[in-house]
Amino acid sequence: MKHRLLSATLLSLSLLGGLSATYAAQPAHTPIYLDANRPIEERVEDALSRMTLEEKVAMCHAQSKFSSAGVPRLGIPEIWMTDGPHGIRMEKLWDEWADAQWSNDSCTAFPALTCLAATWNPTMANTYGQAIGEEARYRNKAVLLGPGVNIYRLPLNGRNFEYMGEDPFLASKMVVPYIHGVQRNGVATCVKHFALNNQEIDREFVNVIVDDRALHEIYLPAFKAAVQEGGTWAIMGAYNRYKDQFCCHNQYLLNDILKGDWAFDGVVISDWGGTHNTQQAAYNGLDIEMGTWTDGLAWSWSNAYDKYFLAQPFLIQLKKGEIDEKVVDEKVRRILRLTFRTTMNPHRPYGSFATEEHALTARRIAQEGIVLLKNEGNLLPLDPKQPRKILVVGENAKQMMTSGGGSSELKVKHEVLPWEGIQNYFGDQAQISYEEGYSLNPAVNRHALRQQAAEAAAQADVVLFVGGLNKKDNQDCEASDRRSYELPYEQNELIAALRQANPNLVVILISGNAVAMPWVDQVPTIVQAWYGGSEAGNALASILAGEVNPSGKLPFTFPVRLEDNAAIALEAYPGNGKDVEYKEGIFVGYRWHDRQKIEPLFCFGHGLSYTTFEYGPARLNRRQMNPRDSITLSVSVRNSGSRSGAEVVQLYLCDKKSSLPRPLKELKGFRKVVLEPGEEQTVTFTIDAQALSYYDDRQQTWVAEPGQFEAWVGASSEDIRSRASFELTDE
């Protein structure tokens, strides 16, 4: 039955309208594990006591591409998982990557997580999680394989678009409400990829060498927040190695830190094909093995899933006593806990799928995440009521961006392309024309395309160039990194030609990564539009037309040159084919630019508006605090322009003197406020010892060192508007 789409168990549950019907059919003396009113831990122990060894082992590995087994004898259902963090992936065949060709699995595409991070709005992250959780629940999925919170270490990583930027504090504050939103639907988030999965080159085996400070200060905080604040029910291990152990069964990461220090009570799921050894998988923290031999099962075993490391090999060693049964019991406890939180929770809502409401949610997220990088001469916004000739140039204006990219690929109910959105907003008054300008096809004469576009640009009132990257290999795509920091397909030459033909040029970049901009000084207006999902075109056009005032801020630094990035400058990427050493330590992103005094192309936290904001002085409620105390900082922000707008007020802390090297400043707070023209609000931050701490790798603990500190408040990491000094005293 190689091509089965759903097992009998899942089909029966679907037909019965979920497990609530199953509960209703139970006899008067319901077993404890089936009684949803009993504490989950009692239910877990009762179910575990009734299971055979074979049934326990069956729960610890895949039975299809995206499911693991239940216990039909006990009425315990399978666990069905789905990619990904931006939308619910189309159904796949039972054990092949080919699409199942369903007619009812066309989803809503939500913006990529770089766009969500660019909103700097935790409330929006919760809304995002709620909506995508509803879609996963409607499709009867128990686990959503996301979100991703790996740190943006360098702009070549092909999966950066799936993550939440370069700063651990920003990623932490955005992932927690996302998790809450998803899990409110009785669907588990599976936060990934734990940990240090910061490149796609050699990802299946590269061993990451990183100091303990960088591990704890940069690469772990978002995962820690996901566990301890978000309460995520699942974590996905990474492909790479750390301390020469694969991360999907890594003693230090999974047992010592995740399940030990952080008291994680959920399930660790391997990345697909990330499991390599039965003994290590058994003892080093993995709970469910997925995707081993993930090439479509080309080995053609009739019982391929029994060959998984946590399948028959695991069972044999258990029966021989080579592995204690307590090991499998602990895994099954976690799996049962997940099941009772999701598929065996009769109170989980029914969800909804590909609705108009979800499309509008996707549009709002995209609108709020779009970043206005530059707007000299106030070329934007364009009044949609004014007659004008608009030329749209660029293949990305008519290119679907919801398909491709690897595991984030989607089959969408609809995708409004930039070309369509521009027509929707400007078509009534403007004459809109299109030129391809460049092509992905290397056989096409790009010089001819460029010349045609430049000639057309000379006849237009305004030119909207829509370019950037795409979801193809060696761009923003899983399993490969970018080969260059430059825009592909001769786009730089095209932009230069368009600017020479017409000074009224708006460059719109669709990407999940920073790109080089050798033309930055010649172009008046630049917009970073990300991958905007189902409503990308309408969201973009609403910004161009001024219906929505841009308020997005960059979640990572745009360096001028690739060599300005720390990993590249220190020759710490991609490694030697076996190891990669993070020589930059804690100095990632803006921390590195500050340390080296390198001016970025566009800094972390940067983003313009169609209005202006004035900041008052930063005021502290007192100038001293002790490690058990906290102080508050307040700053007034006023909309000094003529349009309603939103500003992200950012708090950075500076340690004036410390025993160990520290960044010049670190983000430790942010608030997004919406202000009408002339309106003023006071934004207040709380500063405690945790915000002042660094990880001391000599003591293996967090330290808040007494001394002088400064609080810097601004509109970006470079645009600091006010400062205030205070002292942390010795307790």
Domain spans in the chain, listed from the N-terminal domain onward? 356-553, 613-728
Whether the CB-CB separation of 156 and 213 falls below 8 Å is answered with: no
The residue count of the chain comes to: 731
Is residue 271 annotated as a catalytic residue, yes or no? yes
Lowest mean pLDDT among 12-16, 429-433, 614-618, 669-673: 12-16
What is the arithmetic mean of pLDDT over 421-441? 97
Determine the pLDDT at residue 273: 93
> Taking CA 665 as the corner, what is the angle to CA 664 and CA 671, rounded to the nearest 5 degrees?
165
Q: How confident is residue 304, by pLDDT bands cut at 50, 70 and 90?
A: confident
- Residue 123's pLDDT is 98
User: Of 160, 283, 168, which Cα lies nearest the Cα of 220?
Assistant: 168
Torsion angles phi and psi, residue 633, rounded to 5: -120, 135
Q: Which of 633, 564, 552 is nearest to 593 (CA)?
A: 564
pLDDT band at 690 (very low <50, low <70, confident <90, very high): very high
- pLDDT at residue 26, rounded to an integer: 52
- Give CA–CA dist 681/683, Å, rounded: 6
Average pLDDT over residues 469-477: 96
CATH of the domain spanning 356-553: 3.40.50.1700
As a whole number of Å, the end-to-end CA separation of the chain is 68
Beta carbons of 290 and 269 less than 8 angstroms apart: yes
CB 220 within 8 A of CB 176: no
Q: Which residues of 551-584 are buried (b: 16+ CB within 10 A; e: fewer)?
A: bbbbbbbbbbebebbbbbbeebbbbeeeebbbbb
Read off the tokens for 469: 């990257």
3-state secondary structure of 672: strand
pLDDT level of residue 21 (50, 70, 90 thresholds): very low
Q: What is the pLDDT of residue 96?
A: 82
Q: Out of 95, 105, 167, 271, which one is annotated catalytic?
A: 271
Question: What whole-number percentage of the chain has pLDDT above 90?
Answer: 92
Q: Is the pLDDT of residue 7 over 80?
A: no
- Give the residue-averaged pLDDT of 395-400: 97
pLDDT score for 216: 98
Q: Is the pLDDT of residue 15 over 50?
A: no
For residue 602, the cross-strand partners are 558
- pLDDT for residue 506 is more than 80: yes
Query: What gap in Å lies between CA 17 and CA 24, rounded to an integer?
Result: 12
CATH number for the domain running over 613-728 = 2.60.40.10
Q: What pLDDT does residue 653 have?
A: 98
Q: Residue 381 has what DSSP assignment?
A: S
For 115-137, write each residue's pLDDT tens digit. 999 999 999 999 999 999 999 99
One fold for both 356-553 and 613-728? no
pTM: 0.95
Give pLDDT tens digits for 529-558.
999 999 999 999 999 999 999 999 999 999
Which range scores top for mean pLDDT: 257-266, 298-307, 403-412? Answer: 257-266
Q: Determine if residue 686 is left, alpha or beta; phi over 0 gives left, psi from -120 to 50 gives alpha, anything else beta.
A: beta
- Listed in sequence order, the residues at least 6 apart from 11 whose beta carbon sits closer than 8 Å to its beta carbon are none
Instruction: Inform me whether the pLDDT recorded for 235 exceeds 90.
Output: yes
Whole-number pLDDT of residue 84: 80
Distance CA 42, CA 2 (A): 37
Q: Please, what's the b/e burial string for 117-150 (b: 16 or more CB within 10 A of its CB; e: otherwise)?
A: bbbbbbebbbbbbbbbbbbbbbbbbbbbbbbbbb
Per-residue pLDDT averaged across 569-584, rounded?
98
104-118 tens-digit pLDDT? 999 999 999 999 999
d(CA 629, CA 631): 7
- Provide the pLDDT for residue 627: 93
The percent of residues above 70 in pLDDT, for the chain, comes to 95
CB 218 within 8 A of CB 175: no
